[in-house]
Structure 1
Amino acid sequence: MTTTTATSKKKRHIALGCEGSANKLGIGIIAHDPLTGAATVLSNIRHTFVSPPGTGFLPKDTARHHRAYFVRVAKQALAAAGVSVSEIDCICYTKGPGMGAPLTSVAAGARTLALLWEKELVGVNHCVGHIEMGRAITGAENPVVLYVSGGNTQVIAYAEQRYRIFGEALDIAVGNCLDRFARALEISNDPAPGYNIEQLAKQGGRVLVDLPYAVKGMDCSFSGILTQAEEVVAQMKKGKKGPDGEAITPADMCFSLQETVFAMLVEITERAMAHVGSNQVLIVGGVGCNERLQEMMGAMAVERGGSVYATDERFCIDNGIMIAHAGLLAYETGFRTPLVESTCTQRFRTDEVFVKWRK
């Protein structure tokens, strides 16, 4: 990677990234070699706000958590990275999309660090952060990207210095669907509702509950599936039996929901692959950690003579290092966010970002 700034004379460029668009507060530090473009993760610290079972995380409570832990997480990231403040080139923060109050809290923390340390700010699109981190970790060259998280569900491909959205959820994101279903079953939110659904689903499979399947071209819909699943859970609690007279268990419901929504995601991803002529799939976002989703996507990719790329929970789940990485890529092309423009937005489309660092 070559750069256009004076900082290219340094042996390495270093960025600190701050993420807090949902219930994860993450601060990470990354280094780039200006000659080779190689990225080195120096630290990746995260602290999660966990709400009680049967509840979601409210913006005000999540923001309060981020404010309470910001300083200690930043100190931990610096200590783990083994770098001094003078070595850091820029402070990167999540500009959006996400929940307004948590985003604002972390942006205020990032601005404070930038002013205190006299560093420049770089606002980062959360979705682009996921994509660039996934590309860096897996080595995927030019894949179709399935971005699946609590707030977003998109099928994306790169073209002419933009990440183009080919399909997306028309209502709620797949992660939000899973999270809200976990509330219906009163599943623990620790470490994450989606993770606990995945573990329960591994115990199910005796009964496949019929749920709506809503795919429209390369778009999909999850609200109807969630409503039907919640109704089945309500009936299940009253002792309703399955089609063969078997009792429907929470594990069966988790299995059925996963199989249905993941089949939808595989279908729209395959359609996008055929459209753009790619045989690579990169799965990013918190839901991308799910082993069953990776397995189903892998089976489809193999049939097409392709391959699937995914990361583990360190980089799939929201984290500060992905913001640091994407922000440093932009910084090295000359991009800066003036202090007066260091705002946040709950709606920040993936395709709004000019990806200057890719040819």
Structure 2
Amino acid sequence: MVITAIGFEGSANKIGIGVIRDGQVLSNPRRTYITPPGEGFRPNLTAKHHQSAILDLIDLALKEANIESLADIDVFCFTKGPGMGGPLIVVATVVRTLAQLYDKPIVGVNHCIGHIEMGRLITGATNPVVLYVSGGNTQIIAYSEHRYRIFGETIDIAVGNCLDRFARLLKLSNDPSPGYNIEQLAKKGNTYIPLPYTVKGMDVSFSGILSHVKTIIVGHKQARTQGHEQKKIKYSNEDLCFSLQETLFAMLVEITERALAHVGSNQVLIVGGVGCNVRLQEMMGVMCNERQATVCAIDERYCIDNGAMIAQAGYEMFRADKTRKGMTLEETSCSQRFRTDATFVNWREDK
């Protein structure tokens, strides 16, 4: 049976709608809510952005997929969580309404599992250790006994959030994303500035690093104000970007290597928006080469939040459900703290 799934993603500042048909991506348009330099995105304003963009995106997704109507879709999939409450609710409300209008089943998808299933689809990775790095999440994950098990994670803020807040300190542009602009500046950095390195077992901590960097930047500004720039300042913004990236990514590579050894896998799959960073991929590649393992990475089309990843995970869930009924309306509520390991992965078999 051929199954066509449409996926709706809107857990953060990106609203995306994608169409999947039996593992083939038919369309995947998205829009990004971009704020001025130095500002983050607020839930209420992000929700209004998604509300204004979602209907046009539906039309575009169907047009690119060469599908005439939502009536030709078999299952409606949406991000159930985790994410920001307002944006999640906007998308879920639209999906519930359309599914009832067209009498279609609904599947709620865990955002992280959407990233994982999209990564597995695009790269062909079989049973990898997953490094999930984004603005809201940082986790080391591996599959076991019908669950995606979390082996390690951040104990405070996510690595993407750390980069975003650092970009605000430097007043970097949010277009196309703070992390991308940090990456470009880091390529011009020449001096490594020692920063706190906080790995606790399989977990990591980023808030102390951010506080330390903030202290450096504040001291930089004070020195400039007092006219002692040449005497006291021995670094540039490029050096700070370079140093922060090297430190954060080294921490991530360390806990990923430890998970590889524990699981016995020979593949690392990097997913989430930060996974687009070429330097992170390079550092992970060095480690994997030493362990005779491979890095499975995807580009910004599928690494950054998108609708196709929700459609793919929803497709797998729907295909494994023999009843083909999907969720009840009561089950389609959103959860801002929907854990990765809370979903029963009945579409994968244990080796």
Shorter chain as normaliser: what TM range? over 0.9
Give distance in 1, aligned partners of 2:129 and 2:327. 29
Q: Which residue of 2 aligns with 1:356?
A: 346
2:271 maps to what in 1?
284
Alpha-carbon deviations, 1:130-178, whole Å to 9, x = none? 0000000001110100000000000001001100000000000000000
Q: In the alignment, does 2:92 pair up with 1:102?
A: no
Quick check: 1:310 aligned with 2:297? yes
Change in 2 beyond 3 A, CA 1:293/1:193: same
Amino acid aligned to 2:254? E
Q: Structure 2: which amino acid aligns with 1:283?
A: I
**2:328 pairs with one of 338, 347, 355:** 338
Partner in structure 1 of residue 155 of structure 2: 170
The answer for the alignment partner of 1:329 in structure 2 is 316
Aligned 1:159-308 pairs, distance under 5 A: 159-204=144-189, 206-239=190-223, 247-308=234-295
1:98 touches 1:347 (CA, 8 Å); kept in 2? yes
Q: Match of 2:46?
A: 62
State the AA in 2 paired with 1:237.
Answer: K
- Inter-partner Cα distance in structure 2 for 1:83 and 1:233: 52
Structure 2 CA distance for aligned equivalents of residues 91 and 139 of structure 1: 25
The AA in structure 1 aligned to 2:338 is F
Contact 1:131 1:145 in 2 (8 A): yes
Whether the aligned pair in 2 keeps the contact of 1:89 and 1:119 (CA below 8 Å) is: yes
Q: Residue 278 of structure 1: CA displacement?
A: 1.1
Distance 2:87 2:165 in 1: 20
Q: Deviations 1:210-240 (Å, cap 9, x if unpaired)?
A: 1100001110000000111111111222347
- Stretches of structure 2 that go unaligned for 5 or more consecutive residues are none
Q: Which of these residues, 1, 7, 18, is aligned with residue 28 of structure 1? A: 18
1:144 alignment counterpart: 129
Task: Tell me the secondary structure at the aligned position of residue 172 of structure 1.
Answer: coil
Q: Determine if the alignment matches structure 1 residue 90 to structure 2 residue 75.
A: yes
C-alpha deviation, 1:83, in angstroms: 1.3
- 8 Å contact from structure 1 (residues 236, 249) kept in 2: no
Q: Is contact 2:220-2:233 (8 Å) kept?
A: no
Q: CA deviation at 1:124?
A: 0.3
CA RMSD of aligned residues (A): 1.6
Output the amino acid matched with 2:196.
Answer: P
What is the alpha-carbon distance in structure 2 between the residues aligned to residue 210 and residue 15 of structure 1? Answer: 48
Consecutive unaligned residues of structure 1, counting only runs of 5 or more, are 1-7, 33-38
Q: Are the equivalent residues in 2 in contact too, given 1:239–1:247 (CA < 8 A)?
A: no
For 1:46-61, list aligned pairs within 5 A.
Answer: 46-61=30-45
For 1:301, the aligned partner's letter is: C
TM-score (norm 2): 0.95
Number of positions where the alignment pairs a residue of Structure 1 with one of Structure 2: 342
Tell me the TM-score normalised to structure 1 length. Answer: 0.93
CA distance in 1, matches of 2:55, 2:79: 17
Q: Deviations over 1:22-77 (max 9, x none)?
A: 00000000000xxxxxx110000100000110000000000000001110011100
2:60 is aligned with 1:76: yes
Q: State the Cα distance separating 1:327 from its structure 2 match.
A: 0.3
SS of 1:209's partner is coil
The alpha carbon displacement at 1:245 in A equals 7.1
Match of 1:132 among 117, 134, 152: 117
